[in-house]
Amino acid sequence: MQMIKVVMGLLLVGCVNSASALPFSFNSHDVPEDIPENPTTTLGNTYSYMMTIGAAGIISDLNVYVDIDHTWTGDLDIYISDLLTGTTVHLFDQHGGSGNDITGVTFDDEAATVISSADAPFGPGTFRGVQSLTAFDGLSLASVWELTIVDNYHADVGTLWNWGIRGETADVPEPGNLVLIGLGILGISLARKRHM
């Protein structure tokens, strides 16, 4: 009985220690894409850019990368969505006024600066978005991902040069060394009992 308790302890410690995270990085291949002029002064034009990811994994941390040239960034809203679950996070909310460009920006919940407190031109750099990306934690990486850009006013145009998602998935724990040792000890113990 004492031997079984020791083995179970080793199994638990081994399982805890074996958990790890796997990094991922996916960029859109359908770029560059135009962000055309909004033809009216009152209605926002919505432009959607999609990317299908088949890789397995449960998201533990998600970051979103964008590289946009656009005059008057105060015209723009930016969202990221997982279309299979309907989860959407608002990243950028008409910040920067008459400034230009959101160049090489990564939206990351761990960033020191909130993008609403920065000035245009934005980036290159890392910022916290309007809403937290933790909304995607626990969801599957395998999905159809959509970047949505809303141009709320007329007279300015731009280009989406690149976008993508980056981060980590929770690894399925594999038996660590202590687990293997524990199983070995348990096997030896059971074999001895059979021969007694």
Give the closest residue to 145 by CA, choosing from 60, 54, 77: 54
**2, pLDDT greater than 80:** no
Q: What is the pLDDT of residues 46-102, one digit of tens each?
A: 999 999 999 999 999 999 999 999 999 999 999 999 999 999 999 999 999 999 999
Q: How many CA atoms lie within 13 A of 27 on its CB side?
A: 12
* Across 7-16, 37-46, 78-87, least confident range: 7-16
Is the pLDDT score of 15 beyond 90? no
Closest to 163 in 3D by CA, of 84, 49, 83, 58: 49
CATH of domain 26-172: 2.60.120.260
Can you give the residue ranges of every domain in the chain? Answer: 1-19+173-196, 26-172
Distances in whole angstroms, Cα of residue 136 to Cα of each of 110, 141, 148, 163: 15, 9, 16, 17
- Choose among 30, 110, 102: nearest CA to 63: 110
- Give Dmax (Cα) for the chain: 89
| pTM attached to this predicted model | 0.78
Residues ≥6 apart with Cβ < 8 Å to 52: 143, 144, 145
C-beta of residue 77 within 8 angstroms of C-beta of residue 97: no
Read off the pLDDT band of 192 (50, 70, 90). low
| 3-state secondary structure (DSSP) of residue 28 | coil
pLDDT above 70 for 34: yes
- Does the pLDDT at position 22 exceed 80? yes
Please tell me the distance from the alpha carbon of residue 130 to that of residue 77, in angstroms, as a whole number.
Answer: 10
Q: Is residue 28's pLDDT more than 80?
A: yes
Backbone phi, then psi, for 134, in 5-degree steps? -65, -10
pLDDT at 183: 47
